[in-house]
Chain A
Amino acid sequence: MITAQQKPINEIRGMLGPYKRILVLGCASCVAECAAGGQKETAMLASTLRMMAKMNNEDVTIHEHTLDRQCVRDFVVRLDEIISSYDAVLSLGCGAGVQAVAEMFSEIPIIPALNTEFIGETRAQGLWMENCLGCGDCMLYYFGGVCPLARCSKQLFNGPCGGSVGGRCEINQDVDCAWQQIIDRLTRFGAMDRLEMIYPPKNWSRKQGGGPRKIIREDQQR
């Protein structure tokens, strides 16, 4: 999923400055799973903003609403009936959600309430870990299910750098060395021969070389 964290409240308040009728818009998908922008967080942020507005004697109307998915037009379209009552939307969607809403409603500012972080997993309660860069050319098979691009600090394709000690990355003792994990897993599978070959330079055009990426599936179009 896409993970995100809420921006500092003062940064959000700063961006909302000129607006009097604000819709705080949550998203019940990824950002709900990472406790950043779901229904609960949306309600909390809206009430915090209402409280702060009241304390500062600001005449602001703040309502909240949560879509199942801000990044899917079929859901975003449901705002059609209510959005005209507001002069700004504060979106708790990820960057894709904010932009999908903005794309559909070009007359109204859509303001991000979150910092979108990474594609990752929920490892434990309150712990999310990055494990995918969305490079467009998955090589997890070769690396025993551990991505050296997303999880090695130097994105090395051909083994650990000289700073790997005791399974830890040189940049920080809290960071696991992805290469130690790759080697441990491939050793278990008896597949260390996969690491003898030299992996050639990555084809980055599938991530960023061709400008913003899109997927076109004619079989899915109607």
Chain B
Amino acid sequence: MKYVSRLKSVLEKGGFAVTSECGPPKGADPQAILKKAELLRGKVDSVNVTDNQTGVVRLSSMAAGVLIRQAGLDPVLQMVVRDRNRIALQSDILGASAIGIRNVLCLSGDHQSFGNQPDAVGVFDLDSIQFVQVVKNMRDERVVIGGDTLGQPPDMFIGAAANPFADPLDFRVVRLAKKINAGADFIQTQCIFNFERFDKWLSAARDRGLTEKACILGGVTPLKSAGMARYMKTKVSGIDVPDELIRRMECVSKDRQREEGIRICVETIERLKQTPGIRGVHIMAIEWEEAVGEIAQRAGLLPRPVPDDQ
């Protein structure tokens, strides 16, 4: 069976791509990840599998990616540089390709101090941009770091993350340019709540021609409650939830806040669909995978194109 990246194939045909994500469980039960993935079947093109997110030990993203692939979905393997040195990262890229994973998202990773292993060494042998470049060189030049030649090169659609809401704003576009110049084919952004800031960033990216060179997927997250909105604003570095959005959530009764969160999310996607330079959305419904299908439906993103490999 030939494996292809559905994300790549949708984007190459000029479609508006939809991705979502699945967090692997804190345990060895394969059903935990498969149940989540099942909720996303037919609702998205590809599914990110997170890599020990927030520095908490979980079932490996590689194994979760394989399970998802075997279930007939297209995984985006998230790989952080926090836990592996360049030997392990390059080796895992080859391994991932060999088992049919066709997308990788190269990330720095949440700092180990946030998770349940605060005493761990943070490897950070490569940074995320160097990692993107390394994967590109493996794929396109058939070389590993140091110049040694590979046999069969990995077949990977290469992604990176961008956070338009972190500081300093001016440099955010430089960093995006570096990721794209390093070889990122697609970019998934941090969740967008503040359009004023997002538009500034995107417009600077357009001015540099970056939206032509890589496919930018806008990140969205449905808010579950006003409390969650406040938490994200104050406690999560690099997430910008404007006050008016928090007020909007507060203005509806608690039992209707989830609906309001979905509504905001759908409005955000509608707006992103009209935004030049945005090629898709990445729906991050944190521990709320059930919501993804409804969001995709209401935002007019369904049905998804039938994948080439089916």
Contacts and interface: CB of A to CB of B under 8 A. Distances in A.
B63 interface: no
Interface in B175-211: 175, 177-178, 181-182, 190
B237 A158 contact: no
Interface string A165-196: 11100111000010110010000000010011
B82 A164 contact: no
Contacts of B145: 201
Nearest to B131: A201
Contact of B127 (A158, A165, A167, A180): A158
Contacts of A195: 171, 174
Interface residues of A, number: 31
Contact of B122 (A153, A164, A183, A199): A153
Contacts of A40: none
B175 A160 contact: yes
Contacts of B168: 160, 164, 180, 183
A177 B190 CA distance: 19
Contact of B111 (A171, A177, A180): A171
Contacts of B177: 196
A159 B190 contact: no
A7 interface: no
Interface residues of B, number: 35
B7 to A, nearest CB: 21
B111 A153 contact: yes
A170 to B, nearest CB: 4
Contacts of B237: 162-165, 170
A43 interface: no
Given A157-B130, A165-B167, A201 B125 contact: yes
Contacts of A166: 167
A168 B181 CA distance: 27
A163 B238 contact: yes
B49 interface: no
B53 interface: no
A198 B174 contact: no
Contacts of B167: 160, 164-167, 177, 180
B101 interface: no
A140 interface: no
Nearest to A184: B168
A156 interface: yes
Nearest to A179: B171
A159 B111 contact: no
Nearest to A157: B127
Interface in B228-284: 237-238
A160 B128 CA distance: 11
A154 interface: yes
A171 B113 contact: yes
Contact of A155 (B113, B127, B171): B127
B130 to A, nearest CB: 5
A196 B181 CA distance: 10
Nearest to A167: B167
A178 to B, nearest CB: 13
A198 B183 CA distance: 11
Residue in B82, B134, B178 whose Cβ sees the most chain A Cβ within 10 Å: B178
Interface string B126-143: 111110011000000000
17 contacts: A153-B111, A154-B111, A154-B127, A158-B130, A158-B175, A160-B168, A162-B163, A162-B238, A163-B111, A163-B238, A164-B168, A165-B166, A166-B167, A196-B177, A201-B86, A201-B125, A201-B130
Given A156-B124, A158-B175, 6 more contacts: A161-B108, A162-B165, A164-B167, A165-B238, A171-B114, A199-B130
Interface of A: 153-167, 170-172, 177, 179-180, 183, 192, 195-196, 198-202, 204
Nearest first, the 6 A-B pairs at minimum CB distance are: A162-B163, A170-B237, A163-B237, A158-B129, A155-B124, A159-B175
